[in-house]
Structure 1
Amino acid sequence: MMAITASLVKELRERTGLGMMECKKALVETDGDIEAAIDNLRKASGLKAAKKAGRTAAEGIIVTRTSADNTLVMLLEINSETDFVARDDNFLGFANKVADIAFEKKQADVATLMADGLEAEREALVQKIGENISVRRIEFVGGEGKTVEAYVHGGRIAAAVELVGGTAELAKDIAMHVAAINPQFVSPASIPAEVLEREKEVVRAQSEGSGKPAEIIEKMMVGRIKKFEAEISLLEQPFVKDADIKVGALAKKAGAEVVSFTRFEVGEGIEKEEVDFAAEVAAAAKGN
């Protein structure tokens, strides 16, 4: 059986806003599976949603490059240990050099890209700055016949949108929306069946506790699932710059179709180790 750590309980509390004992009990019941615990808590308590995991402690920058004809965009993430280094001119110079070479070579494989001299430069920079520097990921969006553009917010969040038809300006506007709102899928039709089924189970469990007749519960479920689909689908979301029009309608009005989007956020999915300095000092003292 998995040990239920204080940090695991803390994360569940942060994501749900529920009490410590309730969170601990839920984790015990799921053997430490935090996503399953969230589902059970939602079913039992009527909790509407939980915050996404993602104490994204890793620092760094996202750099983009766009072709002159707006048919290809590249997103690149480079990480540092602290925000201070992420703003350092040496770090930024290296990040831009890597981006230029990756875009010129159309190389999305980090290991292959770094093998040609850039790894030695990265190691030299690590020695100079005194922090680990990591080229984490590269993604290209677009291609022949597509219209693409990227939007970057503060160097920490970037999004690229791929259209058929439309303009680069429209693609950038929709990319800004993606960066700000963080949709999960392009349209309701593109949502995987397992995602919908998981949400249906939660809605069903919440509805059955209402005491309403089965036919009313079924209607409630249909409405709730439709709302859920709209909330996580880019085309169904109210446009961030004009809430009176949905993104899908905005694109259609401009004679464009949204094919795909990509969104990077610095450090997402990386959990930085939390160091208890007091405990570390105490342990060191005992060792002396």
Structure 2
Amino acid sequence: MSISAAQVKELREMTGAGMMDCKAALAETGGDMEAAVDWLRKKGIAKADKKSGRTAAEGLIGVAADKSSAVVVEVNSETDFVARNDAFQELVRDIASVALGTDGKVDSVAAAAYPSGGKSVADTIKDAIGTIGENMTLRRAAKLSVENGVVATYVHNAVAENLGKMGVLVAIETTGNAEAANAFGRQVAMHVAATNPLALTEAEVDPAAVAREKEIFSDQARQSGKPENIIEKMVEGRLRKYFEEVVLLKQAFVINPDLTVEKALAEAEKEIGAPAKIAGFVRFALGEGIEKETSDFAAEVAAAVKK
């Protein structure tokens, strides 16, 4: 029998399940709405998808690495309590391992086969939602690779090996000593965790951000009443300072503030035994950019008393 769009819509509204899941449920049960609800509930789909509207801003960052590449993933949960759950930690660790065999894009990771259970990462997460009892999501993933060299990793606020609240990858291109390159790369990763640079080089800073800063600096300089040629030099000086603050290679190295990261790299080449280049970096901080739901607990209690 054919399933109408109206039936699918009704089942979605009843269960909160996805459209394709609703269509499959109705097809399996011959269009019987009640049976379709039971079908979804038995598979844990209705339970899982009903929770999908809740904000998942806790969770864990996971990293995984091999000789020439590394990945970082963010898997969110609703509460920090779940993030301390052994099953959830195993899930994040396995997802990071799976991501290492992909191009690192979140869609590719979600579609990849999970190590156990014969399902995709996305379906395994959906099953875990039903088992653990709160919303979870694979929010993002990234991968760095080098032809020659290493990709160093660092996890900040670690709760277990390769799992924590922040993950950083730093790619070092070199034909020199891999162990020395990795040691320096890890120091740079710790620096990135602390300073959160916007870009590796000046050229990679978002032009819109530079234009915005330049406009602010210009307005501030004009308030001094100085002539335009002096204002121009003042703005150039402020922009240089701005780049020193936001560009990784220009920043003062947190391990040795007397050196910039660029000069620290030149020093590290002595240990590495060959020219080296920082080819890229990635920094994931848990929940950044997510608007967390807040509630007035006192107001909720007062409202409950009035009922």
TM-score normalised by L of structure 2: 0.68
Equivalent in the alignment of 2:76: 79
Q: Which amino acid aligns with 1:128?
A: T
On the 8 A contact 2:155/2:167 being kept in 1, the answer is yes
Q: Which amino acid aligns with 2:90?
A: G
Equivalent residue for 2:168, pick from 134, 159, 163: 159
On the 8 A contact 2:56/2:77 being kept in 1, the answer is no
Equivalent residue for 1:142, pick from 123, 145, 161: 145
Unmatched runs of 5 consecutive residues or more in structure 2: 1-54, 158-163, 270-274
Instruction: For 2:254 and 2:136, locate their aligned partners in 1 and report how far apart those are by CA, in whole Å.
Output: 34
Equivalent in the alignment of 1:272: 292
Equivalent in the alignment of 1:40: none
Does 1:252 pair with 2:255?
A: no
The change in CA–CA distance for 1:274 and 1:74 in structure 2 (over 3 A counts) is: same
Instruction: For 1:246 and 1:57, locate their aligned partners in 2 and report how far apart those are by CA, in whole Å.
Output: 38
Q: How does 1:36-51 map to 2 (within 5 A)?
A: none
Larger Rg belongs to: 2
The change in CA–CA distance for 1:234 and 1:241 in structure 2 (over 3 A counts) is: same
| Comparing 101-110 and 183-192, the one that deviates more | 101-110
Greater relative CO (CA pairs within 8 A, separation 6+)? 1
Pairwise CA distance, 1:163: 1.9
**1:163 is paired with a residue of what secondary structure?**
strand
The change in CA–CA distance for 1:73 and 1:61 in structure 2 (over 3 A counts) is: same
- CA offset digits 1:104-155 (Å, max 9, x no partner): 4555324313783434432332233222111111111113224211111011
Equivalent in the alignment of 2:210: 196
- CA offset digits 1:207-263 (Å, max 9, x no partner): 111122333222211111111111100001111111111101111231311111111
**1:147 is paired with a residue of what secondary structure?**
strand
**1:149 is paired with a residue of what secondary structure?**
strand
Q: Which amino acid aligns with 2:173?
A: V
The change in CA–CA distance for 1:112 and 1:119 in structure 2 (over 3 A counts) is: closer
On the 8 A contact 2:62/2:96 being kept in 1, the answer is yes
Equivalent residue for 1:93, pick from 90, 93, 97: 90
Equivalent residue for 1:220, pick from 218, 221, 234: 234
- CA offset digits 1:152-202 (Å, max 9, x no partner): 101111111112216111111111111111111112232233222111100
The change in CA–CA distance for 1:102 and 1:193 in structure 2 (over 3 A counts) is: closer
Aligned length: 230
Percent identity for Structure 1 against Structure 2: 40
**1:175 is paired with a residue of what secondary structure?**
helix
Equivalent in the alignment of 1:185: 199
